[in-house]
């Protein structure tokens, strides 16, 4: 009975991930209507797991459900972006301070390795995006507050709705990389205050580029 009860959940979560990635890749555009019939046919599933998947994405802020009109990919307003970046700056700057103070040498070396991989990927857009997120999420894992990590993960999903408008602006990738280097140097110097201030500045600059 337990195995049978888990199967539908696994299906709708898998469908949610498929749709999530299509939103992030802009295959499903912000503001666009989500054709449930077409998607159900494309995935070879019934409408029930698809609707459950859309509820998951709505809870994450990636999908907006409109009464009698269906589901739409969420459009992120300037106010939304300001609020998301503000919270990310607070949460991740706090995490950076913890890492500077408490991380092991091996953990700092791991972050340094991710940063170096990021520096080598500036001409590979999708890999740069992936490594950038991996660096930030690994830093959060090292800081060790699962509640903060959960909130940041959800906020980053919303931020991805606009990422192509920020990191792809002329010169922003190199600026972002330089900001990462500044954060990394503060972490290696074991300076919590400097690490926090540089991480905060990183998000403030990201918001300006996203506007």
When pLDDT is cut at 50, 70 and 90, the band that residue 166 belongs to is low
- Residue-averaged pLDDT of the chain: 90
* Whole-number percent of the chain with pLDDT over 90: 71
Is the pLDDT reported for residue 160 higher than 60?
yes
When pLDDT is cut at 50, 70 and 90, the band that residue 167 belongs to is low
Long-range contacts of 177-184 (CB under 8 A, 24+ apart): 177/118, 177/119, 177/122, 179/205, 180/115, 180/118, 180/132, 180/135, 181/115, 181/119, 183/96, 184/111, 184/112, 184/115
Please give the average per-residue pLDDT across 191-211, as a whole number.
92
pLDDT for 6: 44
Per-residue pLDDT tens for 9-26? 579 999 999 999 999 888
pLDDT for 163: 60
Q: Which residue has the tokens 């939103």?
A: 23
Higher-confidence residue: 175 or 166? 175
Is the pLDDT reported for residue 197 higher than 90?
yes
Is the pLDDT reported for residue 73 higher than 50?
yes
Per-residue pLDDT tens for 107-134? 999 999 999 999 999 888 889 888 999 9
Domains annotated on the chain, with CATH: 2-73 (1.10.10.10), 78-210 (1.20.120.530)
pLDDT for 9: 57
């Amino acid at each position: 009975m337990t195995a049978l009860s888990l199967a539908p959940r696994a299906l709708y979560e898998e469908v949610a991930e498929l749709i999530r990635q299509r939103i992030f890749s802009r295959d499903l555009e912000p503001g666009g209507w989500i054709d449930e019939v077409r998607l159900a046919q494309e995935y070879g599933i019934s409408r029930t797991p698809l609707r459950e998947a859309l509820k998951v994405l709505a809870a994450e802020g990636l999908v907006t459900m409109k009464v009698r009109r269906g589901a739409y990919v969420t459009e992120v307003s300037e106010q939304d972006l300001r609020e998301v970046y503000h919270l990310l700056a607070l949460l991740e700057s706090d995490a950076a301070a913890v890492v500077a103070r408490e991380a092991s040498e091996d953990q700092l070396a791991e972050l340094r390795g991710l940063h170096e991989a990021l520096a080598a990927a500036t001409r590979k857009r999708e890999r740069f995006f992936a490594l950038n997120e991996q660096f930030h999420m690994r830093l959060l894992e090292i800081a060790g507050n699962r509640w903060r990590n959960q909130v940041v993960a959800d906020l980053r999903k919303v931020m991805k709705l606009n990422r192509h408008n920020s990191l792809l602006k002329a010169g922003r990738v190199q600026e972002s990389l330089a900001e990462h280097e500044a954060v990394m140097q503060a972490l290696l110097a074991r300076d919590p205050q400097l690490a926090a201030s540089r991480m905060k500045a990183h998000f403030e600059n990201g918001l300006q580029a996203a506007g």
